[in-house]
Structure formats: C-alpha cells, structure tokens
Chains A and B, each alone.
Chain A
Amino acid sequence: MAQPARGKVRELQLDVSGMTCGSCVQRVEKTLLKQPGVLECRVNLATGEATVRLAEGAAPFEAMRDAVRARGYDLAVHRDRPDDPDRQEERAWLRRVWVAWPLSAVVMVLSTLAMDADWARVTAFALATPVQFWAGWPFLLGAARRARSLSANMDTLIALGTLTAYGYSVWALFAGEDLYFDTAALIISFLVLGKYLETRARGRASEAMKRLLELGAKEAHVVRSGREFLMLVDQVKVGDLVRVRPGEKIPTDGVVEEGASTIDESMLTGESVPVEKVAGDQVTGATLNLDGSLLVRTTRVGADTALAQIVKLVSEAQSNKAPIQRLADRIAGVFVPIVIGIAAVTALAWFVATGNVGDAIVPAIAVLIIACPCAMGLATPAAVMVGTGRGAQLGVLIRGGEVLERSRRIDIVLFDKTGTLTEGRMRLVDVVGDESALARAAAAEAASEHPIARAVVEGAVERGAPDLEASGFRAVSGLGVRASVESEDVVVGRRSFLEREGCAVPDWLAQDTSRLEAEGKTVFLVGWGDKARAALAVADTLKPNGRETVRALEGIGVEVALITGDNRSTAEAIGRQAGIDRVLAEVLPDQKVGEVRRLQEEGEVVAMVGDGINDGPALAQADLGIAIGTGADVAIEASDLTLMSGDLQGVVTAIRLSRRTYRTIVQNLFWAFGYNVALIPLAAAGLLNPILAGAAMAFSSVSVVSNSLRLRRFQR
C-alpha cells in the first residue's frame, strides 16, 4: 500500500497503546496506512512504538490519532522514558549544592568583614538557617536514625557539630558574642557537594536488571490450531509450538519438535562454538537461532526460564552485598563519643575552676564546634573523583567510591575464559596432513557464515594458501559441507560426516585427530576421492598479554584462577597457555556464582573478571566485579569496574589504582581531621574564635583537595 513519494518526506515516531496481539499490530498498521500521505508504517508489538513515514501534506497527527482510537487503540507522540531513581537522587543533591553554596558564601563574607554590624549578624542568621535545616536535612535525619540505636556515624558528627555551632550562634546573636554561622553553613556546603560528587560517580545499579530483561525475545510465532500467530512472548504457554526462523531469538525454553539448526548459545554458556540441535534436543530462550528453521515445543515460560534464573541470581547477589561501612563512618563512630567525652570533661573542669555555668559551657561548646571537620565530607569523594577520572584516562571505568574501599584487599582473581582471557573467536591453529587440503577446504567453506568456516578461510589467507574456485556448494546443517573444487568433490566436516559421505579415515589421521581434540581443539577433516586427507584444528586463542597479566597479578600478591562453562580439555589448554594452575571447568552460570560465594565464605576477597551474560551473577557477587568492555552490557552493568578495551593488563592497573585511591582516602581523612583535632585543646582552653575555626576549615579543605590531585600522576 505504499504510495510514490513526492516532495519532502518526514518520519514520525509514535507510541501506540492498547495492542495485545499480533492482529492488533496489523490493524493499527492498516489504519495508519489508510491515512492520506502515509507512505510507510511499521509498528512494533513489544515496544508499542510506531514509525510512520509521511509525505508532504499528509494527514495531521490528530486525524491519525482519531482513526486509531476508532479501532480501540490510542496514539501518542513518542516520548522517551523518564529518568531513573539514581539520576533523581543526583539532582536532589545538586539542588542542595545550588542553595547551600551561595548562601554560605555570603554568610562567610559577612562573618569575616562585618561581624559588628547588627544587620550583618541578623542576615547571617537568616541565610544560615535554610542551609542548616533544608540543605542539611538529610544529615540531621541520618543522625536521628542513628541515635535511636545509640550508634554514631558521619551524620552524627555533622549534626553534632553544625547544630552546636548554629544553636550557640543563635544565642550569641542576642548576647553579642562571636557568631559561628559560617562554620555551620560551610560544613554543610562541603558535605552536600561531596554527596553530589559521590552520587554522580556511582552510576546505575538497576541497569543490570533492565538489560537482562531486555535480552529475552519479545515476540514469538506460535502455532495453534494449525495456524501461525504472532504474539507477545508472555502469552506463550507451556506446551505451545513455536516456530523460530533463522536469525531470530528463541523465545522460551523448550525442546525441538521438528527441524535442525545451529544455535549460538554463547550468551548462556560462554561457548564460542555454535551448537547443533535436532529434534529432541533442548533449547534455551534468548539464544540465537543461526541457520535453520525450528519448531519448538515450549517447556518453560516466564520466571521458570533459564534467563529468568540468571536475572534472579544477579538480583540476589546484588541485594545480598552488604554495603560496607565506609571508612569515614567508622572513624566518626569512634570519634563522636570521644569528642563528647572531651567536651564533658572540659565543661566539668571549667565549672570546677570557675564555679560559673556559663564559663563552663562555652569552652565545651567550642570543643564540639571545632571537632566537626568540614573537609570530612570531601575526603572520600575528592579521592574517588580524581581516582575514577584517572582510571577513565587509563581505560578503567570505576563505579563509585564503595568499590574502591571494598576492593583494597584482593586475594584471588577469577577469570572467565571465553571472550575474557581468550579472544572469543575461533582461529585456525593446526593443519595436519595433505597440504593442499587447506586451500580446498577454504574454497568449499567460502560461502558459509558459520564461525568455524570463517576461521578456516581466514587461516587459509594467513598461511598464503592459493585462492581456489568452488561450485556446487551444499551444506548439511551443522554437520559439514560439500563442494566441487577444481573438479574434485571435496568434503569438509566432522569425522562422522566424512565417513557418511564415503571418505575413509586412515588410522594416522584418526590418531592425530584424537590428539588435537585432547588438546581441547575442535577438529575438522577434509577429504576428497573417497579418502580423508587432512585435519584442520580450530581453537579460541589466548589474548596476547594473557600470560603477562597472570604473572603481574601473582607479582602483586593475588592468586589467579580460571572459571568457565566450557569443557575441561579446552579450559586446561588455555590455562596452560596462560600459566594458570587452578582451572574450574564445565561450570554452569548458577554454579559460577556459587564458586564465588564459596571462596568468600572461606574468607577470601574475590575479584571476578568476565564478559558474558552468564557471568552476570558471579560479577555481582564478587567483592570486585570487573567487566570486559567489549562484552555484554549486562556484564558491564553487574560489575563494579569496566575495562574499556579488552586488554587484560587493565586488571592489574585496576587493582593497583584501587589500592592507591584507597590510600588517598585514608590520607585525606587524616588531613580532614588533623587540623581540627589539633585545635581541640585550644577550644577546651577557651581560646577558640571564628577566625581559627575558619582557618582550620580552609587548610583542611585545601590539603584534602591537593592530596587528591596527586592521584592524577598514577601510572599504569
């Protein structure tokens, strides 16, 4: 129903609501196509998005909407999804920053320059109040919660310090004494800035869930009553027959009823070799059907599918990860009672010395005021920001400060095999037998899309094999190919295929084949003239600096192990090449996370490096999850750290950078507390004044920031 285009053509994105079945899609498309000026219309059942191409002078949106409504659906102009909760939190802190800083700056100026003028004092009070109670509200709330369980953390220290400063200043406003409004306001300002920087660096944890759920097929072609219907995948029932065409994702877990094909199961098992499936074999939802058409009888849907299980595992791992008590909080937890103690002693001492309550309270208050370090809120975020920034320059994307604190001590690194330690692609590694076999095999496989065929062809080019012509190409799905090369009938495939096609396999070749297979390689035979003439072995190869990385890690005191779902001989072969002794093979996705948990229960701090969806749960469970940037989005989202390129050296860099950044955080906290603690005795002696307090704030902030900037010089 397309009409010839004339003049300008524009595209419009729309959202359709109310569609429940495949026929709904057709109905909406037909309705829209009937509208004047609509050249093309595509509607997606799963997302509800419609794309229409309109010629000049086409019907207006309202007309299209009315027509769609008449059929029982609704139409709206496409709108992108609203922001997720983490962004909202980030923006909330930014709002506080925008309020706190300008007000605090004014208060500080007033305090420094015009402390005697009444109008200045009252203004300072008026401006400091919203900073203390609106911008600083989250800390006050946090402290109140903590107080209920009689424990203290950073929030407690902040509340104590700022409320004391503020409260005293209100009294001082009327009593004509020194004001400390600027102290309170600036402490809060630094803190909200720190919190904003922290949330910005943190990233989105819930993305992992979203990505995993997006992996599944959205639609399915269900065969009912002898006819094929398009429907949403959640409408498929156990027992339904589903037709899966080449290039489509398998919609649900099931058993092949009819047909034969090869399936790309890498998303699930990490295996780089596509798997052959025939009637009676099990298939998994979300895997990719490569070349044949299949009729699948559904065995599991929805929450019972393998993919749903992975989602559940990742979710459990993420929620079970107890947030570690941040270093700053732990220090504050010890510091607060000590400070309160010192203040009490101070008050007591003065009271005993002067007998005057007023004279006793003021120094005690001064102790409380000076004890709250304003740079404390900046200590961790500043180091994290510079650290993560430097990391990004080096190709290491770190997600947030908690990661750095948690990973300062790593005992063991688990490497996934396929796509992480290895390139993830098959390469031709051995040619045994008749030398002309490679050229012939390459010619025969030239037309095939199969990854192994590609490997053979590339291998032939690499080795300079002559380019031969092939004709009469015939493929038997998943088993082998046959073609006529230089008027010889060439057969390429597994041993069973060659024997079936009448090519006898001599003993020497059979022995070599077994030897190569024992090395974990995938072996194909090439034959012509009724005899198998040669064997071609393909394998996934170790990444170039795999061995060095393992050595470097062992050099910084970290144990290395390999964990994979692939078979034992392949795994051990790669392990040998990389220099890894500890090899865990044939591990299913839920077992992978189990292994990580087992090691953690033994007291080890575990880092995991992976790239595939099947690594998701383990990456989330590990103390430090490292994703290979060239891998699945899900792995990236489930991890704490991403190596932008696939370069394994990044693992060493990442661990070293984490340790360095953590050291910087500790140093920053020392600087933050140091100046203030040094002034406590002065405060107790009644010698504190706003100038000194301000100086402490300034020095500690500068120290923290400049110490953090030193991280920029971190080298790979």
Chain B
Amino acid sequence: MERKEILMEIDPVCGMEVDPKGAAGSYEYQGTTYYFCSTGCLEDFREDPESYLR
C-alpha cells in the first residue's frame, strides 16, 4: 500500500501496517526483510516463517 510520504510495510503475521522506521522489530528471511508490529509477531514469524508467507 502506498502512502504519500512513507512507504508502509505489512506485518505478515497480523496484517497491520508498520512504518519500517518505527517497527518493533524486523527479520530477514530468504532475502526479504519483514517488519513487525510487536515482538510477539516477530517471534511467531521466526518460529515458522513459511506458514505466514503463502
């Protein structure tokens, strides 16, 4: 989703929009960096990345 000023990322676990600069955390997987709204979502993703990337 594009916005006028910032390019927002989507948290793959919960679907919320995350500003990369203010994200609770990020994680690189197979060459792509994902941003998360909370450490909870980051941990869930780390445990099983594939299940969130269908």
Contact = CB atoms under 8 A, between A and B. Distances in A.
Given A21-B38, A225-B10, 5 more contacts: A20-B38, A27-B44, A224-B15, A229-B16, A231-B14
14 contacts: A21-B15, A21-B37, A23-B13, A23-B44, A71-B40, A72-B39, A222-B15, A224-B1, A227-B15, A227-B54, A229-B15, A231-B14, A235-B16, A235-B17
Nearest to B2: A239
Interface of A: 20-24, 27, 71-73, 222, 224-229, 231, 235, 237, 239
Contacts of B23: none
A252 to B, nearest CB: 15
A386 B18 CA distance: 59
Nearest to B13: A23
B38 to A, nearest CB: 6
Contact of A23 (B10, B14, B17, B54): B14
Label chain B's interface by main secondary structure: loop
A20 B37 contact: yes
Nearest to B3: A237
Contact of A239 (B1, B14, B41): B1
A326 to B, nearest CB: 52
Interface in B1-15: 1, 10-15
**Which residue, of B15, B17, B37, B39, has the highest number of chain A Cβ atoms within 10 A?**
B15
B1 to A, nearest CB: 7
Contacts of A73: 40
Listed residue (A22, A71, A224, A237) with the most chain B CB atoms within 10 angstroms of its CB:
A224
Given A72-B38, A72-B39, A21 B44 contact: no
Contacts of A27: 40, 44
Contacts of B13: 23
Contacts of A71: 40
A71 B43 CA distance: 10
B1 A237 contact: yes
Contact of B12 (A24, A225, A231, A239): A225
Given A227-B54, A237-B17, A21 B1 contact: no
Q: How many B residues touch the partner, as a band?
A: 10 to 19
Contacts of A231: 14-16
Given A224-B10, A237-B1, A72 B17 contact: no
B35 to A, nearest CB: 13
Nearest to A235: B16
A53 B3 CA distance: 44
B10 A21 contact: no
Contacts of B1: 224, 237, 239
Contacts of A239: 1
A147 B40 CA distance: 61
Contacts of A227: 15, 54
Contact of B14 (A72, A229, A237): A229
A239 B8 CA distance: 14
Nearest to B16: A21
A34 B17 CA distance: 30
A231 B1 CA distance: 17
B38 A22 contact: no
Contacts of B39: 72
A21 B44 CA distance: 13
* From B37, B38, B44, B54, residue with most partner A Cβ within 10 Å: B38
A304 B44 CA distance: 35
Contacts of B14: 20-24, 229, 231
Contact of B38 (A24, A222, A224, A229): A24
Nearest to A223: B15
A237 B15 CA distance: 12
A51 B39 CA distance: 24
B14 to A, nearest CB: 4
* A-B residue pairs, 10 tightest by C-beta: A229-B15, A21-B14, A23-B14, A224-B15, A23-B13, A21-B16, A72-B40, A27-B40, A224-B10, A22-B14
Nearest to B11: A21
A190 to B, nearest CB: 59
Nearest to A71: B40
A222 B40 CA distance: 20
A24 B12 CA distance: 13
A24 B40 CA distance: 7
